[in-house]
Structure 1
Amino acid sequence: MNRLSRETFWGPFSLLGFAVALAGFLADRLHKWWMLHVYDIASRGKVEVTSFFDLVMAWNRGVSYGLFAAETTTGVVILVSFALAVSFGLALWLARVDLKLTAVSIGLVLGGAIGNVYDRIAYGAVADFFSFHAFGFYWYIFNIADVWIAVGVGLIILESVWPGLAGGAKNEESGGKSPR
């Protein structure tokens, strides 16, 4: 049986990925704090920014597009537990990557996920503010954490489909291979 080692939890780009995650989490927290407590979006209702973009206050009790809405404490605990398990899996994946771009991408997803977990713990739901719409079609309402997650996933897909296209530098110390 393979025993757990330091490399199981920490890799060559772990620090980079966790720094990106922390920056993403803090940007999300700062924005949500400002929207809720300084700008007070809840008392303003819909704020039309452009003909296709509004600022609104929406509490998402579910996951993407409001799926699996959690109306009870048990439901919130289940969603938080699931998000934390996924975040732990992302952290383990981060320890194994050998491309900076992949580490940044995972960091973005991790920072966004933890930002939304914070909301679920603090408020029982995720605070969303951005509403894009055009030609009678309304996109779902989202927040900065959702942007980090979408960009991170997009970069992971880009790197998976076209390796090296995005200029991801491999770990030079190990010739691009994981030190394990």
Structure 2
Amino acid sequence: MTDRTSKNYVINFFLTHGSDSYYFNSFLNFVLLWNTGMAFGIFESDSYTYHAFSFLIFLVIIFLIVWLFRSNRKFEKISIALIIGGALGNWFDRIVYNAVPDFIDLHYLDFHWFVFNVSDIIISVGILLLILSDFFLKNK
């Protein structure tokens, strides 16, 4: 819900103000980029490849859902659910907009990290928690 709300707000903000960037402070900008590639804009693609990636993402989401229901570890389930939620948010955009709106631009001086969105944060947190759970909470 936070992902959809943030994306709708940013899209409407930039459409209303006729701009595609907003300086927030010395380390954060908001820019509206339409990502037709994979995570963080990697593998920008043509229409055929884009649809193939979209289908692959759909299959990964199905795999994660099966894993979620087969898991009996609570922390693992939470981690997988976060990944699924973020992936569904971006997959929805791929289907509706034929691109994923990315808008968070973290930077320091002239170094800019990849532009990302709230779904990317949720996916990253889910993956980090999944890795940590595997290291620290694994059943012996």
Checking the alignment, whether the CA contact within 8 Å between 2:7 and 2:101 is kept in structure 1 is yes
Q: Deviations over 1:4-59 (max 9, x none)?
A: xxxxxxxxxxxxxxxxxxxxxx221121112112x236723321111000011111
Query: What is the distance in 1 between the residues matched to 2:109 and 2:42?
Result: 24
The alpha-carbon deviation at position 156 of structure 1 amounts to 0.3
Equivalent residue, structure 1, for 2:70: 96
Once the two structures are superposed, what CA deviation does each residue of 1:90-118 show, in whole Å capped at 9, x if it has no partner?
Answer: 01110121222211111111011111111
| Pair 1:86-2:60 in alignment | yes
Q: 1:117 aligned to 2:91? A: yes
Larger Rg: 1
| Alpha-carbon distance in 1 for matches of 2:125, 2:22 | 25
Q: What amino acid maps onto 2:103 in structure 1? A: F
Match of 1:157 among 113, 131, 139: 131
Name the counterpart of 1:35.
Answer: 10
Partners in 1 of 2:131 and 2:2 — Cα distance? 24
Partner of 2:105: 131
Deviations 1:97-154 (A, max 9, x none): 1222211111111011111111111111110010000142110000000000000000
Point out the structure with the larger helix share. Answer: 2
Q: How far does the alpha carbon of each residue in 1:40-87 deviate from its partner, in whole angstroms, 9 at most, with x for none?
A: 367233211110000111111101232222221x22221110000000
Amino acid across the alignment from 1:112? G
**Preserved CA contact (<8 Å) 2:14 2:32:** no
**Partner Cα separation in structure 2 for residue 120 and residue 111 of structure 1:** 14
Correspondence 1:76 to 2:62: no
Runs of 5+ consecutive residues of structure 1 not aligned to the other structure:
1-25, 165-175
Q: Distance in 1 between matches of 2:45 and 2:2?
A: 26
Preserved contact between residue 31 and residue 102 of structure 2 (Cα < 8 Å) = yes
Q: Which structure is higher in strand share?
A: 2
SS in structure 1 at match of 2:71: coil
Unaligned 5+ residue runs, structure 2? none
Counterparts of 1:121 and 1:88, CA distance in 2: 16
Give the total of aligned pairs.
Answer: 138
Q: Look up the match of 1:49.
A: 24
Q: Distance in 1 between matches of 2:69 and 2:124?
A: 21
> 2 CA distance for matches of 1:77 and 1:64?
15
